[in-house]
Amino acid sequence: MIQFSRWNEATIEVIRDVCSLWNQELGNEFPISERLFIQNSFKCLHLLEEGSFIVHCDEKVVGLIISKVTREQVDLLPNKVGWIQVILVAKEHRRKGIVMKLLQMAEKSLRNCGVSKIVLGRDIHHYFPGIPSCCSDTLIWFEKQDYQYVNKVQDYYRSVSSGIKLLKTDLVISVLKEVEQGALLAFLHQSFPGRWEYEAIDYFRAGGDGRHFLVAKKEGKIIGFVRVNDTESPILGPNVYWDAVFPEKMVGIGPLGIDRYYRKNGYGKAIVEAAIQLAVERKAKHLVIDWTELDTFYKSFGFEVWKEYHQYEKILN
């Protein structure tokens, strides 16, 4: 018997079952851990409980949908935008109307929250910046539900075995010190207000000490930054979500930003090279850059396209 229950009724045991379902269906390319699922869904402040559901069949988890809306920091994050973070049903239970019912319930709840646009993926603490290109049937299905294609983005990958020659500039590039946290947040607020600023606040709120940021300083002033993520970070960054696919250590690079007044001086290239060198020093064998359209820029460092995503959204009337 098929049963639908609200997400706020979930328990740790259900989370384990959800992760088992996920890995059964997606684990070859996107292996999930309980830690990641708890971070991105179960404990995410932006979870819309009334728009998130679990599906059971004979007490076994066979599907789920998770919806989100902005719940805090509305000055930094999109307003009147809702997200479908994930919708997943076991293969043997598809083509039975379950997926359609999940989407309809989620869309109704998002409408009731005053949402005017629904985005697939790209949520705060997202798993995917769009629908993975390997899920071609999913792309077609959402198009039939009036979701419109807007863009394609990629994740990039390269292996590492040794350090690289660093570009010489007049910058001082170093790992962020704890006493510099305020300066970094002030820089982000001025130069990159929005999601990157929010994610940095989130990192420090979770107990981050700064070692996952490199900052570029000119005459003592921060003019650029880059994240250098690993699984030891208190917040798992999206460029290390799928580290279990690799047998050795993986490090994620990004996001990256240089203040617009200092661009076109080679500073972006310099800080990426410094990030790669730091990853080598931290014994990484695999590097990933997530959610970007900067094909030529990252290929210049030896990165190649690893995964592709198609971004879709739906305007609500």
Tens-digit pLDDT profile for residues 251-280: 999 999 999 999 999 999 999 999 999 999
Give the residue among 306, 310, 308, 309 at the shortest CA–CA distance from 246.
Answer: 306
Q: Which range is least confidently modeled, 23-27, 160-164, 223-227, 249-253?
A: 160-164
Q: CA 34 to CA 22: how far, in whole Å?
A: 11
Q: pLDDT-based confidence at 157, cuts 50/70/90?
A: very high
pLDDT value, residue 165: 74
- Domains annotated for the chain, with CATH where assigned, are 2-127 (3.40.630.30), 158-308 (3.40.630.30)
What pTM was computed for the model? 0.94
* 26-30, 73-77, 211-215, 302-306: segment of lowest average pLDDT: 73-77
What's the rounded Cα separation, in Å, for the pair 263 and 38? Answer: 38
52: pLDDT strictly greater than 70 = yes
pLDDT of 164 reads 72
Q: Please, what is the average pLDDT of the chain?
A: 95
Amino acid at 240: V
- Average pLDDT of the residues in 61-80: 94
Percentage of the residues of the chain whose pLDDT score is greater than 70: 98
Residue type, position 18, single letter: V
Question: By the 8 A CB rule, do 84 and 60 touch?
Answer: no
* pLDDT over 80 (residue 10): no
Q: Determine the average pLDDT of the residues in 64-92.
A: 95
| pLDDT value, residue 113 | 95
Q: Which residue has the tokens 């985005």?
A: 119
More confident residue, 71 or 9: 71
The answer to whether 68 and 123 have CB atoms below 8 angstroms apart is: yes
Of the candidates 223, 208, 231, 221, the one whose C-alpha atom is nearest the C-alpha of residue 279 is 231
Q: What is the pLDDT of residue 317?
A: 78
pLDDT at 314 over 90: yes
The reported pLDDT for the residue numbered 163 is 67
Helix (H) or strand (E) run with residue 297 in it: helix 295-299
On the question of pLDDT at 240 being above 90, the answer is: yes
pLDDT at 6: 85
Q: How many CA atoms lie within 13 A of 79 on its CB side?
A: 5
pLDDT at 167: 74
Q: How confident is residue 9, by pLDDT bands cut at 50, 70 and 90?
A: low
Is pLDDT at 49 greater than 70 in this prediction?
Answer: yes
Would you state the pLDDT for residue 161?
79
**Stretch 237-251: mean pLDDT:** 97
